[in-house]
Amino acid sequence: MQNSRRFLHTTSALFAAEFRQCFELPAQYDYRQWFPMHMSVQLKKMEAKLRSVDLVIEVHDARIPVTGRNEQFFRHLYAIRPHILVLNKCDLIDMKRYKKRIEDYYYDRGVQKVLFTDCKKRLPRALNDVKTSMLYALENTPRFNRTVKTEYQAMVVGIPNVGKSSLINAMRTHTLGIKRKAVEAGARPGVTVRVQNRVRIMDKPPIYIIDTPGVLSPDHRNIEDAMKLALCDLVLESHEILAKTCAANDFRIQRSMGERWDFDRGAKHFIQLYRNSKFEDSNLDHHLF
């Protein structure tokens, strides 16, 4: 009960505060931190794999269904191969409110298939939708120079930490009944750092899937979008609202010069409230629909 009162008090304090309307990066910020060299290298490796790929499956975070998608993927991957967009973590948004609006947004822009999943819960209906859509795309589109092959191969792409590896593991369990992880998945961005070997996820017909590292858009300059990605834990993170958060939760730190608020702990607490779906609406792109 005490924890519940503290949470309500914290939440009330947060919403009572005035949020700033814009955020500006320091003038000395090094944009190379946003798009490290390994991302550029791995993107080129993905392009090199296209010769053996029949389908590209893009995974993105349903909380930001528009923000942060890598435009280079479209130019270098989707324009060449059939494409399915999977919005993962759909349990964190109000599907009754947003599902059709998101679908209409993308179908109006030429995306052929939009799917919603929650790979942590591995809901059978959602995974079956992915399976059905994959089979339809694979069996009803040209196979380019791979017509002699009896097997199919797909590639999963997306920005960091949206659930690419989790989708592969969930599909493998759903279709083959194998519970052991085929690829490593983690709670922090950057677990997959290079293009992986292929994983068999279906027997009839034989379908293999390639896991890839998260690659951000290299030309990102919109700080509002970057803040959304950080809030959703899709990029590594590195004061009035923090002061109120610390005061509501008694976050203090001792220093040689005396006691002060523990702003680092307050920031982590505020972000964790969002990531644990403690706010009313977790869709950060709601104004785009």
The per-residue pLDDT for 221 is 58
Q: H helices of 30-163, where?
A: 37-49, 71-73, 95-107, 124-139
Sign of CA dihedral 237, 242, 245, 247: positive
Q: Which residue has the higher pLDDT, 257 or 39?
A: 39
Question: pLDDT tens digits for 115-143?
Answer: 999 987 888 999 999 999 999 999 888 77
Confidence bin at 190 (pLDDT 50/70/90) = very low
Q: 108-112, 225-229, 250-254: which has the minimum mean pLDDT?
A: 225-229
Mean predicted confidence (pLDDT) in 193-220: 81
Residue 57 has pLDDT above 90, yes or no: yes
Confidence bin at 107 (pLDDT 50/70/90) = very high
Q: What percent of the chain has pLDDT over 70?
A: 75
Annotated binding residues, written as ranges, equal: 88-91, 161-166, 214
Annotated binding residues for GTP, written as ranges, equal: 88-91, 161-166, 214
Question: pLDDT tens digits for 144-182?
Answer: 656 667 889 999 999 888 999 899 999 999 999 988 887
Alpha-carbon gap, residue 33 to 169, rounded angstroms: 30
Q: Which residue has the higher pLDDT, 35 or 49?
A: 49
Which residue reads 């859509």 in tokens?
133
Alpha-carbon gap, residue 242 to 240, rounded angstroms: 5
Amino acid in position 194: R
Domains with residue ranges and CATH for the chain: 33-211 (3.40.50.300), 220-274 (no CATH)
Confidence bin at 280 (pLDDT 50/70/90) = confident
The per-residue pLDDT for 136 is 94
Mean predicted confidence (pLDDT) in 8-15: 52
Single pTM value for the model? 0.72
Altogether, the residues listed in the chain come to a count of 289
Instruction: Determine whether 218 is exposed, middle or buried from the number of CB atoms within 10 Å of its CB (0-12, 13-18, 19+).
Output: middle
Amino acid in position 46: M
